Structure 1
Amino acid sequence: MNFLAHLYLSGESEKIMVGNFMADYIKGRKFENYKDGIQKGILLHRSIDSYTDTHPLVSQSGQYFKGAYQKYSAVITDLIYDHFLAKNWDMYHKQPLPRFVSRCHEVLVKNYLELPKQVKLFLPFLIQSRRLETYAEIEGLRKALNIMVRHTSLPDKTDFAIEILLENYTALESEFHSFMRELIAYVVNEKGIELKYRVE
């Protein structure tokens, strides 16, 4: 899952949210350098990633992009799942997406000194662009993919990804919803996270 899903799955705890958001930049046992709440968020992020990476529905979604992206198909699937979460936000949270995103921004700025250097560098842009909200639109997804092409090793095949998404939109959206229900149950029941507005 990508940024929006990880923030959503953090529940109501600010420290867990911070840890979950920055976890990709905390390697090995370096999480032990942080306070308990942030540690819990980092470990929650790793658990979510492990659960996602081994789930058959996610693998099924990734097959659409395998031909062009190979090992990066999982990265594309993560971002597309964030698109579906943003697009269908009202199904998963009673708070409007713009308000939720604003709260996340406030929490991250409040805990700015706790963030790794890499996160401090991109956070201002993420906030200014309201990037998490833009995931809901195809053009916002396209921009996010192009940003990843410029700043990571993701292959420059954004047009292909969007084309495949649109051709298989209904199937991918259905796979997302089925997976999301299972992921929410896992986070709530196995990880003890309170999702106040979770899907019943």
Structure 2
Amino acid sequence: MNHLAHLLLAGDDEALRLGGLLGDFVHGAPDPALPSRVVLGIRLHRAIDVHTDRHPEVVAARARFEPPYRRYAGIALDLWFDHRLARDFARWSAVPLAAFSDAARELLRRHDALLPPALRRFRAYMEAHDLPAGYARREEIGRALEGVAGRLRRDNPLDRMLPLLVALDAPLQAHFEVFFPQLREFAQAWIEVNAAG
């Protein structure tokens, strides 16, 4: 899943949300100087990613892509599922998408001292593109795919995958409809076991 989903799945706990955003920017063991609940948020992010990659609906969704696209379908689906989540956000959250997105950027501003340089740079991108609310727009997903494609070391087709995602929207939505409620239950259970209190 991508940024919007990780924020939503972290629940109302600010530290878990911050960790959810840090998850893509912290590799290896988190800095021991980070607050313990932020570290838990990073661990939650990683648990969500592992659960997502193994989920039968996500496996089936990836299988809809032919080579050479299938190899990169997981990355594309993370972004596309955030698009579907943003498009129908009122169904998943009582907080309006714009307010939720503003709060996420404000969270990063308030905790600037904890952010690695790459996340500070990404925060500027978030501000410029109204993310994560901007993920509701297909063109923003296209820009994100192009950005990821450019950061990968090997040649890849990510910058050409938006038309495929659009063409597969109906079956991908069907996979998402089954998968996301189960992922939400997984995240809530993980928080109850690992981060309660």
TM-score by length of 2: 0.90
Give the number of equivalent residue pairs: 192
How far did residue 121 of structure 1 move? Answer: 1.8
Deviations 1:9-30 (A, max 9, x none): 1111111111110112222223
In structure 1, what is the Cα distance between the partners aligned to 2:138 and 2:5?
17
More deviation in 136-145 or 180-189?
136-145
Contact map agreement 2:149 2:157 (CA 8 A) in 1: yes
In structure 1, what is the Cα distance between the partners aligned to 2:68 and 2:131?
25
Alignment of 1:37-186 (within 5 A): 37-153=37-153, 155-159=156-160, 161-186=161-186
Identity of aligned residues (%): 27
Contact map agreement 2:30 2:39 (CA 8 A) in 1: no
More deviation in 138-147 or 41-50?
138-147
Greater share of helix residues, 1 or 2?
Answer: 1
Aligned AA (2:156): P
In structure 2, what is the Cα distance between the partners aligned to 1:65 and 1:112?
39
Q: Secondary structure at the match of 1:192?
A: helix
Deviations 1:16-63 (A, max 9, x none): 111110112222223433111101101100110110011111111112
Aligned AA (1:49): D
In structure 1, what is the Cα distance between the partners aligned to 2:191 and 2:62?
26
In structure 2, what is the Cα distance between the partners aligned to 1:27 and 1:14?
21
Aligned AA (1:126): M
In structure 2, what is the Cα distance between the partners aligned to 1:65 and 1:134?
25
Would the alpha carbon gap of residues 31 and 186 (structure 1) be closer, same or farther in structure 2, given more than 3 Å must change?
A: farther
Contact map agreement 1:149 1:155 (CA 8 A) in 2: yes
Gaps of 5+ in 1: 194-200
How far did residue 132 of structure 1 move? Answer: 1.6
Would the alpha carbon gap of residues 162 and 191 (structure 1) be closer, same or farther in structure 2, given more than 3 Å must change?
A: same
Gaps of 5+ in 2: none
How far did residue 78 of structure 1 move? Answer: 0.7
In structure 2, what is the Cα distance between the partners aligned to 1:157 and 1:129?
20
